[in-house]
Amino acid sequence: MKDVYIFAIESSCDETSAAVIKNGKDVVSLTVATQIPIHENYGGVVPEIASRMHSECITYVIDDAIKKSGMKMQDMDAIAVTYTPGLLGSLLVGIEAAKVLSLVYNKPLIAVNHIAGHIYANNLEDNNIVFPSLGLVVSGGHTEIIYLENDYNFKVLGSTLDDAIGEVYDKVARVLDLKYPGGPNIDRLAKNGKHSYNLPIPMKDESLDMSFSGLKSSIINLVHNENQRGNVISKEDMARSFQDVAIDELVRKMEIAINNYKVNNMIVAGGVSANTKLREEMQKLADKYDIKLSIPKINYCTDNAAMIGAAAYPLYLKKEFSDYDLNGKSTTNIFKF
């Protein structure tokens, strides 16, 4: 079969990215322009700033990705773009640019769900998703255990009943006066800390649902009380204590899923899959049950266009193309693709 090259664009949050992906797997080129140093000043992503920065750098990023690929836009088989979920004003910059590329080069336009992108990041390079598979989707907006039957046929088995795990990481980081983005900073500090704070274990049940707001509140209260008493909080120890409890809960729920759904394959997806403790613990779990585990390489865990190209590939094969009236959607039922 002829090789399929997809030019992909991602602009759903605070990274403007473009990539050339071969056969949904090989990263021919990838360009990521991050805005993190700008949003750091505000302690989180300011949507209008994000949109402005996307529109400033979109053609530079496209130009860089195609040049680095050594190919021409005419050589592409399709143009893919993230259309949901994300910041609407930001999504629209990528969407309109992708429409223009599709029109000028007469290539089909493929609308990709950002969360599907995180899942299909597990098809990039040496990784690949083997169906059926269990999946853990963990990001700033999502915490779900899913069952992957086959391409774009995913079932949610359990999810957070309140806060997403990435959101809790950001909140805890803020309470500890750590810079945005909180996740990597907590992960880094936790390595030098001891599990010395007694934090509540979330939901001790056997369901696949999760809850993290209680853990979050207890940390906020504990830090507040210690500050009132004039006691110094050890950021390293708090980061470690929190991370231990949070990751253990995710892994414990995955173990329940493994026991309920006999599978030979498991994937982790979403920004929090960059977390070193989660990666280690998931590998231990996979080894214990002799399950093949796929976690994207670190640079494909955070937002990037390579994963959008990977997720576009099955849609290309099914000829699921979009029209020029494609609109962005800030929220979506992520598992109805």
Q: Which residues bind another protein (CB under 8 A)?
A: 42, 46-49, 51-52, 55-56, 58-60, 62-63, 73, 88-89, 92-93, 95-97, 99-101, 103-105, 323-328
Q: Tell the smallest beta-carbon distance from residue 51 to another protein (Å).
A: 6
Continuous segment of H or E residues that includes residue 52: helix 47-69
Q: Tell the smallest beta-carbon distance from residue 74 to another protein (Å).
A: 11
Q: For residues 131 and 324, which CB has a smaller minimum distance to another protein in the complex?
A: 324
Place of tokens 């039922």: 333
Q: Tell the smallest beta-carbon distance from residue 19 to another protein (Å).
A: 17
Q: For residues 56 and 205, which CB has a smaller minimum distance to another protein in the complex?
A: 56
Asked if 234 and 193 touch (Cβ cutoff 8 Å), the reply is yes
CA dist., res. 327 & res. 20, Å (int): 23
Contacts 24+ apart (CB under 8 A), 195-201: 195/237, 195/240, 195/241, 195/244, 196/234, 196/237, 196/240, 196/241, 197/222, 197/237, 197/238, 197/241, 197/242, 198/241, 199/241, 199/242, 199/245, 200/245, 201/245, 201/248, 201/249
> From edge to edge, which strands make up the β-sheet containing 265-269?
153-159, 143-150, 133-138, 265-269, 292-294
Q: For residues 81 and 178, which CB has a smaller minimum distance to another protein in the complex?
A: 81
Q: For residues 99 and 216, which CB has a smaller minimum distance to another protein in the complex?
A: 99
Q: Tell the smallest beta-carbon distance from residue 309 to another protein (Å).
A: 18
Q: For residues 38 and 130, which CB has a smaller minimum distance to another protein in the complex?
A: 38
Q: Tell the smallest beta-carbon distance from residue 75 to another protein (Å).
A: 14
Q: Tell the smallest beta-carbon distance from residue 325 to another protein (Å).
A: 5
Whether cis (ω within 30° of 0) applies to the bond prior to 184 is: no
Q: For residues 290 and 325, which CB has a smaller minimum distance to another protein in the complex?
A: 325
